[in-house]
Chains A and B, each alone.
Chain A
Amino acid sequence: MGKWRQHVSKWMMQNLELPADVVMDLPRITMIGQLHIYIENHRGVKAFSNEQLTLKLKQGALVIKGKEFVIKTILPEEILLEGTISSVDFEND
């Protein structure tokens, strides 16, 4: 069932020109150089330290690594992180 729905949304995205983040509940990530990272559509914080922030996603997790992390704002589905970002990784489980 879930797989079928995923297929439909993928088809809709490709053929109806709808934005992927809306249709498929994917995170939308905006970065300003290394200074800021802005993530929408997350599902909560898994772990947070000075050098690493792990965010839950609908599928899998997002691992952001860097230095001197500060969460500037956190709202349901929105997060603004400040610091020196060195990498953004997706983890699929």
Chain B
Amino acid sequence: MKSKWNNNLKGYVRVEIIGQDSSSFINACMESGIQIWDIQPLSNDRILVSVSIADIRKAKRILKEKKLKIRIKEKIGTPFLLMRMWKRNGFILGMISFIFLLFLLSNMIWNINVTGANPKTEYELRKAAVELGITKGKFIFLLPNVREIQRELTEKMKNVTWIGVTQHGTQYRFEVVEKEIPKAKPISGPRHLVATKEAVIHSLFVEKGQPVITINDYVQKGSLLVSGYIGKEKKPELVSAKGKILGEVWYQTQVEVPLNTSFQTYTGKCKNRHYVTLFGMNLPIFGFSDGEFQDKTETLNETPLYLAKWKMPISYLKKEIRETDGIKRSYTKTEAIEVGKEMAKKELLKKLPEDAKIKGEKVWQQNVSNGKVKLTMLYQVIENIASEQPIPIQQGE
């Protein structure tokens, strides 16, 4: 049975041998080691024989010697099958090119959808996307992945809070959440000005209203600064109090500075490796060394390929290897305090409104323990402490 499969694979021919002395041909084949099988007599001077294509030349030589004629009846086996298939190569080529075309087309962008954006933002978003190379007809596997697109678009667009990028087959969807900038409501109704925090009044400039405090007064949070009632006591008039009350406010901030820190930086050296992933196996196709870096970080980027809507078991994988450098930083105690002061100030400035001024700073507490410098800083800040408080209109008077 095994030899039959073997014969089928290598290919053989059924030949008719015509002549009187056909049994001498069988003997000659046997002696010279030519394999023949399925010998079937048809009539007195004709037999049907199978000969493998590897032996057909030798068999023909013997036939010539014996003065026998040969006629090929049938061609069996893979070589002949392939030849017959090749004759219909147009058909096969068409099929392959169809699959190839389908593959290419299903890895192209066909549609870009933007939702949740007004026309102006949408136009800007589309423009930004074009800059990234996201246009109709681009190959998806040549583009950065969705995460990256999302990050870059969110960075580029100023008037949006968030852009969600999703890829559905050949379609990119951008979901946009626009920044809603609340319009400042002009308060025109009667109101007081009250203190937003505990402070000592530094200076005051009242445009409208009746100030109830003077410079160097100490005020609590929520206490009245400028009254909306003006005029005589008996017949008060309500106005919308307006003014700037600058108060001296004390802030306390705590910072910790470790004396020794180690952190990593990239040295800028970078190696890329490219893989084709087949059924979860990574086959390297380009870039064969890991760069021989002592310290490194690796990032993986996978781009799957699609045929129609199905994800193929084949995908393209890019591995980025970046060299890192371990750096140790150590401060002396005085340096650490300097840095701590700087840090504390920065942190404070983040919390303060823009027009605030730092008048003075003081180190309140400092101690070194567990390799850390702990600082408690005290700041004197001059800022506007006034905030509006509407006066409820009393009815029925």
A: residues with CB less than 8 A from B are 44-50, 69-76
Instruction: List residues of chain B with CB within 8 A of the CB of A45.
Output: 23, 26-27
Question: Are B41's CB and A74's CB within 8 A?
Answer: no
Q: Besides A44-B27, A49-B41, A72-B37, 12 other CB < 8 A contacts?
A: A44-B26, A44-B30, A45-B23, A45-B26, A47-B23, A48-B22, A48-B23, A71-B26, A71-B40, A74-B30, A74-B36, A74-B39
CB distance from B33 to the nearest CB of A (A): 8
Question: Are A76's CB and B37's CB within 8 A?
Answer: no
Question: Are A73's CB and B37's CB within 8 A?
Answer: yes
CA–CA, A73 and B31, complex, Å: 14
Query: CB of B47 within 8 A of chain A?
Result: yes
Question: Are A71's CB and B23's CB within 8 A?
Answer: no
**CB-nearest residue of chain B relative to A78?**
B30
CB distance from B4 to the nearest CB of A (A): 10
CB distance from B265 to the nearest CB of A (A): 78
B window 3-42: CB within 8 A of A: 22-23, 26-27, 29-31, 33, 36-41
CB distance from B48 to the nearest CB of A (A): 9
Which 7 A/B pairs are nearest by Cβ-Cβ distance? A71-B39, A44-B27, A45-B23, A70-B40, A50-B41, A45-B26, A48-B23
Question: Are B31's CB and A76's CB within 8 A?
Answer: yes
Query: CB of B294 within 8 A of chain A?
Result: no
Question: Are B41's CB and A48's CB within 8 A?
Answer: yes
Query: CB of B289 within 8 A of chain A?
Result: no
Instruction: List residues of chain B with CB within 8 A of the CB of A75.
Output: 30
Say what secondary structure dominates the interface of chain A.
Answer: strand
**CB-nearest residue of chain A relative to B29?**
A74
What are 11 A-B contacts with C-beta separation under 8 Å? A44-B27, A44-B30, A45-B23, A48-B22, A48-B47, A70-B40, A71-B37, A72-B37, A74-B30, A75-B30, A76-B30
Residues of chain B at interface, number, CB under 8 A: 16
Instruction: List residues of chain B with CB within 8 A of the CB of A49.
Output: 41, 44
CB distance from A7 to the nearest CB of B (A): 31
Question: Are A69's CB and B41's CB within 8 A?
Answer: yes
CA–CA, A76 and B40, complex, Å: 18
Question: Are A46's CB and B37's CB within 8 A?
Answer: no
Instruction: List residues of chain A with CB within 8 A of the CB of B41.
Output: 48-50, 69
Instruction: List residues of chain A with CB within 8 A of the CB of B29.
Output: 74
**CB-nearest residue of chain B relative to A75?**
B30
Question: CB-CB contacts of B98-121 with A at 8 A, as 1s and 0s?
Answer: 000000000000000000000000
Point out which of A44, A49, A70, A74 has the most chain B C-beta atoms below 10 A from its C-beta. A74
**CB-nearest residue of chain A relative to B36?**
A74
CA–CA, A76 and B26, complex, Å: 10
Instruction: List residues of chain A with CB within 8 A of the CB of B39.
Output: 48, 70-71, 74
CA–CA, A75 and B30, complex, Å: 6
Instruction: List residues of chain A with CB within 8 A of the CB of B27.
Output: 44-45
CA–CA, A74 and B23, complex, Å: 12
Instruction: List residues of chain A with CB within 8 A of the CB of B44.
Output: 49
Instruction: List residues of chain B with CB within 8 A of the CB of A72.
Output: 37-38
Question: Are B38's CB and A71's CB within 8 A?
Answer: yes
**CB-nearest residue of chain A relative to B30?**
A76
CB distance from A66 to the nearest CB of B (A): 12
CA–CA, A71 and B38, complex, Å: 5
**CB-nearest residue of chain B relative to A52?**
B41
Known: A44-B27, A45-B23, A45-B26. A74 touches B37 (CB 8 A): yes
